Each structure stands twice: as structure tokens, then as C-alpha cells.
Amino acid sequence: MKALVVGGSGTIGTAVVQELLSEGYEVILTYHRTSPDELTKRYDGQPVQLLQLDVSQSIDFERLSFIQNLDVLIYVSGRSVFGMLQDMTDAQIDETYRINVFNFIKLCQHFVGQLMQRPHGRIIAISSIWGEAGASFETIYSSMKAAQIGFVKALSQELAMTSVTVNAIAPGVVSGTMTEQLDEETRSALLEELPQNRFVAPEEVAHIVNHLISPRAQSITGTVQRINGGWYT
């Protein structure tokens, strides 16, 4: 079994890769800025191939030609842009679109033929609570995450008669790089908003991925799996 994890070096991506390895998958992990030496050391002796990929740019699919017989495509890559709508530049909007939407679509387009040949092909997008609820000062990011969800729902219908399921996961606030960058006052205020008074663990997101890739999840398609600790804003 083989999985491609796009954006597999971040907080959620790392947890997803570990979950896949525990299930016996061979993993192709894409990264952008993370040190390849660090990743090589982390996965020493494990069936992980590293691929440097910048999804803010056009993808050269010839570089991905070595990926064959793919079972699972998981798109974790994402980048937010914070500020008022009228302050957003064309470059910021375009980059956010390419990272969150355009290259997700292009990768699905490229690999869907392979996935359809597998007994249980899977496409999973790690979206966001803001893709459904929207967030002030994150209008562009929220719009792109909403587009991901719309694409997932439409593609799931298109592939309904095949072996491929297509789903999105919409986490709330996940513990990791983002929350670690917040000052103590902001962290405390944010925690007070959350019904469970805790951040989502990245391993919880990875657990939902594990659930969706199971052969016993064949009827789960076109869904948004919400993992937010009851934080329905």
C-alpha cells in the first residue's frame, strides 16, 4: 500500500505519516522548507521517500512520474494569510489559492487514474473549521478552505461509481506550530473559547485519516469530518 502525503513535514502531516507507517503503508512525503537531513534522520530505516515540492508554484509532474500504484492521496499543505480584505495584495491572494486549491486540484487530476485502479483509492483534504464557518481577518484563507470542501463534495459524486472515496477533514485549533507561536495571553483567551478547553491533538486528526482509508469506510465519501472539540462557531 502506498500513500502520498503532500505537506507531510508539518505538525499534522507528521502525525498522519506516523499513522500511515503504523498501518504498513509506504509513504511519499513532500516537504518545502523543512531540512531534508532532519526528515532523513526522523524516518531512518522506514519506508519513507522524501520529495521537495513547493505547492505555491506550478508543479512539474515529470518529477512525480516515479509515483505509481498510488492508493492514497492526502493533501495537508495549507497556508493562511491574516489581515483585512482590502489590504490583501494580488500576490497574497494568488499564493493562497495555489497552495490551498489549485495544486490540490491538479494533484487529484494527475493521480485519480491511478487511484481508480486500486481496490480502495482514497483522496483526503485537510481543510479547516474556517472553510465552513469563515473567520474575520482570514477571508481569503476561509474562502480557499471552503473551495477545498466544495471540490471534495463534487469530486466524490463524480467518482461515486469507482473505488475512490473523497473526503475532507475540518480541524479546529490544532496543537502545534501555530499555537506555540501565540503569546500566553492569546493562548489562554483562545482556550477559554473552546468548549473542551483544550486544543485538538494532531494525532486525533491522523486517527480520522486512518478511519477514512480503511476498506470498511467505503461508503464514507463526500463528507466533512469535523474534529473541533465541539467548537461550532
Cite the active site residues: 141
What one-letter code names the amino acid at 63? R
C-alpha angle 179-78-209 in degrees, rounded to nearest 5: 85
What one-letter code names the amino acid at 56? S
Grid coordinates standing for 227?
Answer: 474534529
What is the Cα 133 distance to its own chain's centre? 18
Cα–Cα distance measured from residue 206 to residue 143, given in angstroms and rounded to the nearest whole number: 24
Cα–Cα distance measured from residue 3 to residue 131, given in angstroms and rounded to the nearest whole number: 25
Cα–Cα distance measured from residue 12 to residue 25, given in angstroms and rounded to the nearest whole number: 17
Instruction: Find cell 473549521 and name the residue.
Output: 129
